[in-house]
């Protein structure tokens, strides 16, 4: 079976961005089918699932992306009254209670490295971003990053589909091809 994630980091490997409605991170808990969510809790606790990479299932934290067309579209279309963009510089160390997971393609997720409540995870991510990230409005970000890094900063290669199947996706020259193992 293919890995369900690409890598785990204790230091931010490249400049990453988090678009958010206001300064406080409020991750959405899974409550059933039919809507978007950021984490699945067990008995009210967020588990450090990525530490068991072979059994990892996303999502489990705060989404982050590098500069690229996908992130640009996300920022341009993001809904909310107080949109901000956090910019975390490359080589920023993470606190011991957080990890960064490269889940697939250009998608990263800031997650719990130890078991904690969802309220604690929200507070710890908010504190980390507040202390380590540059904060910009949507307009400031779009002006500062007027040219996207390209169609994607995802290197050519094989990636897990992260959909609970054995499906693999091959990325080459900005396009995806699906394959089954």
Interval 4-40: pLDDT, tens: 778 899 999 999 999 999 999 999 888 776 678 888 8
Domain that holds residue 99: 7-150
Question: With bands split at pLDDT 50, 70 and 90, how would you rate the model's confidence at 54?
Answer: confident
Tokens 């779009």, located at residue: 142
Query: How many Cβ atoms from other residues are within 10 Å of residue 9's Cβ?
Result: 15
pTM of the model: 0.78
Q: Does residue 162 form part of some domain?
A: no
Q: Does residue 102 form part of some domain?
A: yes
Angular region, 129: left φ>0, alpha ψ -120 to 50, beta rest: alpha
For range 144-157, the mean pLDDT: 60
Q: Structural domain tally of the chain?
A: 1
Q: Does residue 137 form part of some domain?
A: yes
pLDDT-wise least confident of 12-21, 60-69, 147-156: 147-156
The pLDDT value given to residue 70: 84
Measured CA to CA, the distance from residue 180 to residue 161 in angstroms comes to: 10
Residues near 166 by beta carbon (within 8 Å), at least 6 away in sequence:
1, 2, 180, 181
Q: Does residue 73 form part of some domain?
A: yes
Six token digits for residue 166: 């054995």
The pLDDT value given to residue 181: 41
DSSP codes joined into one string, 11-77: B--S-EEEEEESSS--PPBP-SSSS--SB--BTTEE--GGGSGGG--S--EEEEB-SSHHHHHHHHH
150: pLDDT strictly greater than 90: no
Q: Does residue 161 form part of some domain?
A: no
Q: Does residue 163 form part of some domain?
A: no
Q: Does residue 175 form part of some domain?
A: no
For range 36-57, the mean pLDDT: 86
Six token digits for residue 20: 């958010």
Q: Does residue 107 form part of some domain?
A: yes
């Amino acid at each position: 079976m293919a890995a369900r994630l690409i890598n785990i980091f204790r230091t931010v490997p490249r400049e990453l961005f988090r678009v958010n409605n206001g300064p406080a991170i409020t991750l959405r808990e899974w409550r059933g089918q039919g809507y978007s969510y950021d984490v699945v809790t067990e008995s009210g606790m967020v588990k450090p699932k990525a530490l068991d990479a072979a059994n990892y299932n996303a999502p489990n934290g705060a989404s982050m992306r590098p500069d690229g067309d996908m992130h640009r579209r996300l920022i341009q279309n993001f809904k909310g009254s107080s949109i901000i963009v956090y910019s975390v510089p490359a080589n920023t160390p993470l606190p011991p209670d957080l990890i960064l997971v490269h889940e697939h393609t250009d998608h990263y997720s800031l997650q719990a490295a130890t078991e904690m409540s969802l309220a604690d995870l929200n507070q710890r991510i908010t504190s980390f971003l507040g202390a380590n990230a540059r904060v910009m409005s949507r307009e400031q970000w779009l002006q500062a990053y007027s040219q996207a890094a390209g169609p994607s900063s995802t290197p050519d290669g094989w990636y897990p589909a992260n959909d609970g199947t054995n499906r693999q996706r091959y990325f080459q020259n900005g396009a995806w091809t699906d394959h089954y193992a």
